[in-house]
Structure formats: C-alpha cells, structure tokens
Structure 1
Amino acid sequence: MSTASWPPVRALTAAAACAASLLAVCGPAVADGPNGIDDLRGARSAPNENLLDGHGVQFLPRPGLSEPPRISALSWMVTDLGSHRVLAARDAHRPLPPASTLKTLFALTVLPKFAQGEVRTVSSADLAGIAAGSSLAGIKEDMPYRVADLWHGVFLSSGSDAVHALAAMNGGWGKTIDDMQATADRLGARDTTVESADGFDTPGQFSSAYDLSLFGQAGLTNRDFANLAATKRAWLPEDGGADAYGIQNTNRLLVGSHGVAPYDGLIGVKNGYTSHAGNTLVAAARRGGRTLLVTVMNPRSGTGNAVYEEARALLDWGFEAAPRAVGVGVLPAPAPERRAPGTERAAHPAPLTAVRQASAARPAGDRGDVLLWSFSAAGVVALAGMGTALWWRRRQPVGPEGGGPEVRGPEDEGRES
C-alpha cells in the first residue's frame, strides 16, 4: 500500500471510532426497574414448544406483573390483537361445545358472499329443520328481508331462523356446514369440527378457546362483521313498517342488562349458551389504542352472569398486563378474505411485515426509543462519512498530475464522490 492511501484510512478509522463511541452513548437505555422493560433476565424464557398446547393456566411471570385472575371457566384465552401475542390462557386447545359463538365462523364463511342490500324473500323451506329450543329472531315466511336484516338477526338475537335463511342463500344447510369446515381449516382452527351451522348442540361438534379467538380476530378485520358485532339495537326489518320490531343484542357485557354493567370500550363479538355447552363468550375491547380479545368457555361457578364477569376480569387484567407481559404464544394474523364478485369490499388492515411484527411485540413505550436511536445512529454515520470525504478532497492537489476530481460519465450518476 502506498503512503498516499494512509491519510484516508486514518481518517476513516477515526470517524468510525467516533461513530462507535456516539452509538454507544446514544443507544437505548435500560430503565423501568432493576431488569428494565426490555431486560427479560427476570422472566422465564418461552421454551421452543408452544405453551398453548399445555394443560392448565399458561402464563410467564415477570417482576411487578400480577398473575391472571383465577376464574372458573374450563377454558379461556387473552390475546393482544395489535401484536397477536397470547398473554395468558387456560387449556386453550381443549375441545368443548361452542354454542352460538360458532356463529362467528358462520359469519366469516357466508358474510362475504352477499351484499348487505340484497333482498331475500324467506320461504318455508328456508326455515325447515330448526331444532326445538333454538333461539329465534322472529323471521317470517313469505316476507322480504335485506341481507343486513338477516345478519342483525344472527348477531343480535342469535337467531337460528336467520342462520337458516342465509344458509339457504348459500346453497343449503349441508353445503354451509362444509364451507364452514373449510374456512376453519384455512384459518388453522385444528380443534373445530362443524356439525351444525348455528352452533346448536350436535353430537361431534367441538371448538376451543384458541379457535374461537381465531374466528373473532378474523371477523374484526371485516368491516361488516365488526359493525354487526358492535351493534346494540336494531329494527327488524330495518326499514320499519307495520311488521317491524326492535331487537337488542343479547351480549350483556356490550349493552348492560340482567345485572351486568356494560364494559367500557367493548366492541363485540358474540355470546352463546346451550344446556350442554354452558355459557360461552368471545369479547373484544379497545382502550388507549390497544385491542384485546378474550374467549371464555363454560364457567363452573354456577352464577348466571359468570361468563360476563369472568371476561371482565380477564380484560381488566389484560389491559394492565399487556405493556409488560411476555406472550405464551402467538395467534397467526388472518389472511385477507376472498369475497364474491359484486359484494361490497370489507376493510382489511395491511398485514404486518416481519419487522413490524417484531416491533409490535415490544412494549409500546419502547418502540419510539428504538426508532429515535436508529435515526440518530444513521445521522452520526452519515456526518462522519461526509466529514471524511471533505477532508480528503481538500488534501488532494488539483490537476492531471495530482489526480484531481475524476470525470464521471452517465453510468456514475448517483455515486458518492
């Protein structure tokens, strides 16, 4: 190496040293207690196997983080939908009868196929085969209903008559069950076996807290689903008239009824009950830019409102724990749905890239620090490079003998000099 090459080497070395020193000083500080909010030495690391496959309560403790409330439900799960982290769960994959919470899967399957303004005149054949004891919305034969009316009957009244009418539009009861099973398989809901489109007790029909959480998460990415799940009251038919009547959502945590106070920030999703399944509930709530999804299956306490109060306790814990909790699993982000031509498109958030997912999994208060540190680091390196280039240029003699500024052709455009 000639001696002429040493000055730039020394300059670049000095610049790199300065940049490294500044990066060390400007790096993100560890704060918030002895371990810091990013320092997981005080918490157990998640093993390679999926904790959600285990039995009992799954939760990774951290200093200063309270444990989930002890509730009586056979199975439950708490998910932060922003990062898809499962914060805690109990027997998440335990197969249990889902009751009317299975109507979330019915909606995911059939809702995209028909425009909300499409009209269906309900026939006696449409309403044939409704099981005795099923909840009904009051759909009448030989009466025209908009598709939106029928969906109000599904979501608010949990009406099997509305489900049957929509299933008839979809090609029949059997085809709809097959379509629902295909949707469950596509979403990765491995615990779900569909035998009845409306969730009524049927031998061999099961789902799980994990699968119902998948359905709730996917549904909330669909604008029509989200609006219906959050609707408290409606007219059936919505256009009114002599035969119209009001219906109210049976989700007590949403509307506040039967001694249950409404939950602040609740945005749906669906409740259910049968004598075999007991009470089931998928509930989502949004506070301060964070959305949590809780699924509760079959509380054993014996009180009539247990499913709502236990969901409330889990939501309260989740909002407190989410900024610091280590996830015990991840709920896969839903793929964009496929809608039939001519139906109104639903709004879907852009899927998270791997980088955004990693950022979302971090506690919210840390992401701004990381971005600020990253931009600061880039600025330091850029300034060091510019200073070195200017210093070296001034050191060179101008002219052919001194190797002055080179002449660049078109192929060199954009290259740093």
Structure 2
Amino acid sequence: MPAPKKTARRALLVASAVVSSLALTAPVSHAAPKPSPSTSPSATPPANMSTVGGERLGQAGTQVNLASGVPVLPKDLTARSWVIADAESGDVLAAHNAHWRLPPASTMKMLFADTVLPKFPKSVEHKVVPSDLADVGSGSSMVGIKEGETYSVHDLWLGVFLRSGNDAVHVLSKMNGGIDNTVKEMNAHAEELQALDTNAVSPDGYDAPHQVSSAYDLTLIARSGLQKKDFREYCSTVTAKFPGSTSKKKGKSVRESFEIQNTNRLLAGDSDIPVYQGIAGVKNGNTTNAGATFTGVAERNGKVLLVTVMNPEKSEHNEVYKETARLFDWGFQAAGKVQPVGELVPPRSAAQASAQPGANDSGQAGGAGDGEKSSKSAVGASAASGSSGIGVALGITGGALVLLAAGAFLINRRWPLPDLVRRRGRS
C-alpha cells in the first residue's frame, strides 16, 4: 500500500476508535456536583471528587501506571494538583489530585479567551471609556490600557495573553455585554466542555470567593482553546508592540508604542529557567489565594503534550515552571509506553453527536471552528503585524479529521501548532 494511503487509513482507524470510545464513555453521570456559590476550595483533597474522564482521576494522590519500560515520575514534585495528557488522543498519562477544585488565578483567562475570542474580528476597534476599567481589581496585572485611547481587538488579546492584563480582559468583557454576561457565558461554556469543577466569578481570574477550577478542567479548557487558530497564535507570541499614549508632536497626533513580553517563562525564558524545547503556550497565573498556576503545551517528535500544575508548595523562584518542565520531560519519555489513567473528554455536544447512529459515517470533516477547511492542504496564517515570535500557524498536513457537533470539536493526528514550536523542536 502506498505510504500516503497507509497513513490516511491508519489515521481513520485511530480517529474511529477514539470516536467509538467517546460514545461509550461520555461521563456526564460521573461528574461531581457543579460548584455552587457556597462552595469553597477544600484544604485537602476531598474524599469524593469528580470522575469525569475516568474513575482513577477522582481518587486523591498520584495516579500512574508504572510498568516495565515506563520511567519513574520525578520525585521532587510539590504541586497540590497536576495533570499530564496527550493533547491529540486525550489520554491522561498521569495525574495528581486531578479534580481538586482550587483557585485558578489567571489560568482562568483560557476559559475567557475560549469563550469570547470568536465573538469579535481582530480588526474591530474600541475606544476605552472610564467605565471599561472601573472595576479592575486592585493590584491586578495590567498591560497598560489608557482611557480615551482606541485599541483593536488584536491589541487587546495580545494584552490578555502576553501580559495577563486584567485591564484588557475587562475592556473585552464590556464589549461582550458586561462582566456579568461574560461570566455567565464562561460558566455555560465550561458546562459544555464538561469542565464541571470550574466556577468562574471574575473573567480575569482575580481572587474571588468560590472561584475554582481544577488541573483536569484547565487542561480540558486549554485543549479546546488550542483548536482555535487565533488562540494558538496569541498564546505562542513571545514579544509584541503594544499601543501607548497619543501625544502632539509638531502639531500632529503621534501614537507611541512599547514592547510587551509573554509572562510564560517556559516560552520567554528567565534567569533561572531556559526556554523549554518545543513549548507553544499556553497560560500562567499567580495570586495570593491560588499561588502559582500554569498550563503549558509542547511538542517533540510529533508528540503534543499538555501539562497543568497548580500551586507548588516549594517556594523556589519559577517553581511552577520547573515542575511543569519535569513533567513534560517525563511525558515525552513515557509516551507510547505508559498506559493512561483516564482521558480528556470531548464537549458535551460532541459526545452526544458521536453517540448518534450514523454520525460521521464517512469519517470526514466538514470544516474546523477556526476556519481551517481541509486536512489535505496546509493553511498558512501570517504573523501579526508589529509582533515577533508569533510564527505561522501550520495547516494539518496528514491524517483524517473527525468533526464532531458541527464544528465544535476536532480530533486529529496532528494539531496545527505554530511554526514557533516546530523551529524550537529542531533546535
């Protein structure tokens, strides 16, 4: 059999097997109760946690299937909760207190972006008024948005992803009908994704009573977001030019700009931590209640992994990134050897669609939610003007796409991660 046909056939078999497993394992009945406004994070892992994704993921402590040939997990992990998963198959390779509901800090912005990003074309402009910024929390991380200045949606998303700017989140939320409406939509989207540990109170992740998520949910949310081309590009951008203030020079209005850098230290590097080989995003966070939180995606040798780490007890500088890097290292060594302990479930509508008789009988996709039309040709996306390190989002070059629930979810053999990660993967 010629190689291309063999590859396509193998992809279809893999995709079909995944879809079949989704139809059999839709976990709605296994969910722990949805957190209510009276629910607060527990001091220790609860005895009964959600079993979305598999029974073992509801158990406290570390879950991993160690066997001959499987590397031992790093011994110096101090996070209260973590998950490592195969981004493409959805297999959870190992986990620790996966469904423990904890404050998420700015990793909540992944849910905000996955919910709101499709609403506005990036070229849309908005003039900031005082009410847009009136309720930004004290001590918030800010990108530096000024009242009376005009910003494009593209500018605002750069502020969200690179600088974790709560000011940018609030402006976008006001454009989206207000904070309350945006939070309502975020919670509805979390429900659709089956991220049932998650309860959003503020769209930016700012500390608020009863605002919780889990390592499992954040991984699930990141996986959903990464299927959007704009999401992938923004979260992989290292540096960009951001609009500053307008001033008069020689009778003309001149708009200054300044450089912003991504606060994801595995992407940008720091004095005590190098850029992680193959890293491509996604989002970090840090607040008093949450401690340090982080979800990352990386690729090596065609394998794409997701890691979420929540609140390391060790107080060393950049500890959340160091523990994430060790989990990535383990995952790339263990992939293909370790038996999974659970799975990242599909959105509720996707699971329902896959369970319908005759659904997707052809195994072909009609199109992707972010505008990618075909698995047969590469889809290029130019790097954003005025930014650096963003790379070109590559099209899916091989394997069949399975489209579930009319464009809501993709399962494919290769994700179109930005060129940035592929260049770094070869370095």
TM-score, with structure 1 as normaliser:
0.69
| 1:199 partnered with 2:205 | yes
Counterpart among 91, 107, 112 of residue 101 in structure 1: 107
Determine helix, strand or coil for the equivalent of 1:150: helix
Residue type of the alignment partner of 2:326: A
Other-structure match for 2:372? 347
Residue 169 of structure 1 and its aligned partner are, at CA, apart by: 0.5
Structure 1 residues 174, 288: closer, same or farther in 2, change over 3 A? same
Residue 333 of structure 1 and its aligned partner are, at CA, apart by: 3.6
**Number of residues paired by the alignment?**
303
Cα deviation digits, residues 158-177 of structure 1 (max 9, x gap): 00000000000100011001
User: Partners of 1:78 and 1:61 in 2: how far apart?
Assistant: 15
Superposition map of 1:17-416 within 5 A: 50-70=55-75, 71-237=77-243, 242-334=255-347, 345-347=370-372, 350-351=401-402
Instruction: Determine what percentage of the aligned residue pairs are the same residue.
Output: 46
User: Partners of 2:198 and 2:412 in 1: how far apart?
Assistant: 32
Cα deviation digits, residues 121-176 of structure 1 (max 9, x gap): 11111111111010000011111111000000000000000000000010001100
Contact 2:266 2:274 in 1 (8 A): yes
Contact 2:54 2:342 in 1 (8 A): no
Cα deviation digits, residues 237-258 of structure 1 (max 9, x gap): 3999642111000011101124
Other-structure match for 2:48? none
Determine helix, strand or coil for the equivalent of 2:66: coil
Residue type of the alignment partner of 2:150: P
Residue 358 of structure 1 and its aligned partner are, at CA, apart by: 12
TM-score, with structure 2 as normaliser:
0.68
Where does the alignment leave 5 or more consecutive residues of structure 2 unmatched? Answer: 1-52, 247-253, 351-368, 374-395, 405-409, 414-427
Residue type of the alignment partner of 1:66: P
Residue 79 of structure 1 and its aligned partner are, at CA, apart by: 0.4
User: Partners of 2:244 and 2:324 in 1: how far apart?
Assistant: 31
Determine helix, strand or coil for the equivalent of 1:194: coil
Cα deviation digits, residues 302-340 of structure 1 (max 9, x gap): 11211000000000000000111100001024578xxxx
Cα deviation digits, residues 265-299 of structure 1 (max 9, x gap): 00000000001100000000011111000000000
Residue type of the alignment partner of 2:325: R
Higher strand share: 2
Higher helix share: 1
Structure 1 residues 294, 239: closer, same or farther in 2, change over 3 A? farther
User: Partners of 1:58 and 1:209 in 2: how far apart?
Assistant: 13
Structure 1 residues 318, 166: closer, same or farther in 2, change over 3 A? same
User: Partners of 1:67 and 1:117 in 2: how far apart?
Assistant: 48
